[in-house]
Amino acid sequence: MASDQENSQDANAPDDTSEKEITRGITIMKSIIRDRDKAVTYNVNWNADNQLIGSNAAKLASYIGTLVRMHIPITATRWSNKELGSVKDKIWTEILRSFNIEDTTIRKKYILQLAGKRHRGWRTFLTNKYLKDKEKKFVEYDPEYPVKYAIFITEEEWVAFVAQRRDENFKKVSATNRERASNPTYAYKKGRLGYARLEEKILDETKSDATSLPPHVLWKEARVGKDGTVRDDVQHIYDECETLSQSISTAEDQENRSVLSRALNVPEYPGRVRGKGHGCTPTSLYKNPRRRNPSNQEVMETLQALQAQVLQLQKDNERYRCMEKCSSQLKETSEKASINCQNKFPEGISSCQLYLSSPTYRLVGKGKVHNTSGDLLHHRPLPDGHLKVSVDVVLDKEALLPIPDIVSETTLLRDAIGSFVAWPLDLIFIDDEVFAQGSQQLSQKIGSRQKNKRDLPVTSLPKKRAFVPRYQISLETLVDSSDMATAGAIRSLDMEEDIFGYSCTETIGKEDLEHIFRHQELGVGVIHTYIRFLYDNFMRGNDQLSNRFRFPYNSGCHWLLLAIDPLKEVVYFLNSIDGEWTNYPDMKQLVDTSIKVFRSQRQARVPRTKSRNITWIKVQCPLQRNGIDCGYFVMRFMREIINMNQIEIPITYFDEYKCAHYTRLQLEQIKEELCQYFIEKRLLSI
């Protein structure tokens, strides 16, 4: 409440920038100075949105104007200038001596922002009064020094101020602002009352228990004339706000544009709330701060870190995938797919090489695989997707067993030499001479006409135009003439951080290349190398393209493509055997969790209806007709998606590439450009 000694005449004084003030003399708020000397202070009130209200609000506003005139030179063009810091602190101290205001950051910020508005109004008043004519055009003659305000303005300051205002750039800005403000679409009609005191007046008159009114309600009331009529266009905006408020949540209203800004079809500016007036911010209105949107660099860094986590989790989980499940899915899609995963191994005992896929895909040992019906491991059935293997040679002394031996309590591969362990099917590779015999038997079963290791057992090539895989032949010759001809030899391929979100090294062995030459199932190393090829040739330096879609996925024995748009939270599911994503619950849970983590890290807010639902879209992509081609299909899917460079993948796939099945030639093209990449980059140089 106001003090008994407050001066009613000063409290009702018009704004310093009004022309009426000039006829009454200079407002310097002497009553406040006298009361301050008597140790009398004034109480002020604040509403729920931290805006100044109450009977002394106008007095404080006028006093702020006086202090600004006294301490801030009219030549100060930017209120945010650091050189004004000490003067602002002095103004704040003077206000605290006369008004009971908490000495807090939020109160000081409000008062000094109001002081900045008073300073701009003071400079505008001087410009309009002394530098412009009645038609609001700048005068050509030198304006006289305003002696009346000599206590505020020195002659030197006046000369400098006039020069600033006569600058051509300032004149252009002034003309633009005058034109914009000359004919507002929805004119404000409450004079000096302001939104905060208008809200206070409405709440008092209606005797409402509410502490605040919605912005669009205040906006409408501020445009009601003295006769109480409301223009039709104003009422239309209000009605549209009422409709929008029923469908937009408070969180969405805060995070995006308010209902009033939506109805007016205007942008929302940071740090303010349209229709609430000076001092009301998203923080005060919504009772929690509007989160800062992360920069593009921060989003990409978070996305890359998340991608690295997902890829590592994928590698760690590969050995636990069920091979039997893959086999049953392949049976449903093709007669040729009815091959049990174990049938790729000759029956009986065969020499083999043992690989691990985590933390990198690598050869770790040699031994013998026992592919016999009903075989047991330590009197127990083998886990699904595994075969019994005897370990003869260890190449990586630190390698862990895929499944620890609970009988002997063995965890390291080196401790299992001479004993039997369970090994994942997709990480066992038969030695070349043994494989050749088994491959021939398998070819007879599926009608293959394979005559040498470069013949392709799946489909025949067009007869009209013979296709020569010259890069595959050249690469195979290069391999045979290098140390890569030795089983177990590898090459390392550095993967830059921008590819997977973290720097790593991929290993490529002779067996990986043999899979390409013989058109066999592809491993992680080949797929990752092709991703490196796509990055080098199409995505390097193109942040928009390289960050649009991500992540191929291996279910354990079958390659899928998950094209993930993490910002829109959409997952495009491309499966060349026409399975549903519901067949891979672990995969879906992993991806959904990763997207939610990314959502949290980039501080995104989504409607409640979507917070638990990430959009999965099954794309009707070309389908394979055998149990081998999934890796080749995934590589071609990635190639075509990058070629199209679209922000979305159509459900029926791209018209330019739409087909029921890829031809053998289309897959050979992928293999050729991959082999060409190996050669031209000298990744396997001797």
- Strand positions, DSSP E, 378-489: 380-381, 386-394, 400-405, 410-412, 420-424, 428-430
The answer to whether the CB of 389 falls within 8 A of the CB of 423 is yes
- Average pLDDT over the chain reads 76
pLDDT band, very low/low/confident/very high, at 638 (cuts 50, 70, 90): very high
pLDDT band, very low/low/confident/very high, at 303 (cuts 50, 70, 90): low
Q: Is the pLDDT of residue 405 over 60?
A: yes
Residue of 328, 324, 346, 351 whose CA lies nearest to 338? 328
Q: Is the pLDDT of residue 332 over 50?
A: no
Provide, rounded to the nearest whole percent, the portion of the chain with pLDDT above 90.
Answer: 14
Q: At 623, phi and psi to the nearest 5?
A: -115, 145
Q: What is the amino acid identity at position 124?
A: T
Q: What is the pLDDT of residue 320?
A: 44
Q: At 33, phi and psi to the nearest 5?
A: -65, -45
- Looking at per-residue pLDDT, the higher value among 319 and 634 belongs to 634
How large is the average pLDDT for residues 587-605? 78
**Cα within 13 Å of Cα(163), Cβ side:** 8
Tens digits of residue pLDDT in 454-495: 333 333 333 444 567 888 888 888 888 777 777 667 888 888
- Looking at per-residue pLDDT, the higher value among 21 and 681 belongs to 681
Tens digits of residue pLDDT in 517-542: 988 889 888 999 999 898 888 887 76
pLDDT band, very low/low/confident/very high, at 444 (cuts 50, 70, 90): very low
**Exposure pattern of 54-69 as b/e (b: 16+ CB <10 Å)?**
bebbbbbbbbbbbbbb
Q: Token pair for residue 215?
A: 């912005």
Q: What is the pLDDT of residue 205?
A: 85
Q: Is the pLDDT of residue 416 over 90?
A: no
Tens digits of residue pLDDT in 21-66: 444 456 677 888 888 888 888 998 888 888 888 888 888 888 998 9
Q: What angle do CA 122, 126, 128 make, to 5 degrees?
A: 115
Q: Token pair for residue 8?
A: 């009613």
pLDDT band, very low/low/confident/very high, at 634 (cuts 50, 70, 90): very high
Provide, rounded to the nearest whole percent, the portion of the chain with pLDDT above 70.
Answer: 74
What CA–CA distance (Å, rounded) separates 312 from 358? 8
What CA–CA distance (Å, rounded) separates 121 from 142? 22
Q: Is the pLDDT of residue 341 over 50?
A: no
Tokens 């390291």 map to which residue?
412
What is each CA distance from 81 to 75, 84, 86, 116, in whole angstroms?
Answer: 12, 6, 11, 11
Q: What is the pLDDT of residue 653?
A: 93
Kind of pairing between the strands at 615-618 and 570-574: parallel
Q: What is the pLDDT of residue 9?
A: 37
Residue of 295, 218, 288 whose CA lies nearest to 255? 288
What CA–CA distance (Å, rounded) separates 61 from 42? 13
Within a 10 A sphere around the Cβ of 518, how many other Cβ atoms? 18
SS3 421: strand
Q: Token pair for residue 122?
A: 């003071």
Within a 10 A sphere around the Cβ of 636, how many other Cβ atoms? 22
CB neighbour list of residue 20: distance below 8 Å, 6 or more residues apart: 14
Kind of pairing between the strands at 420-424 and 99-100: unpaired
Tens digits of residue pLDDT in 371-392: 887 778 877 888 888 888 989 8
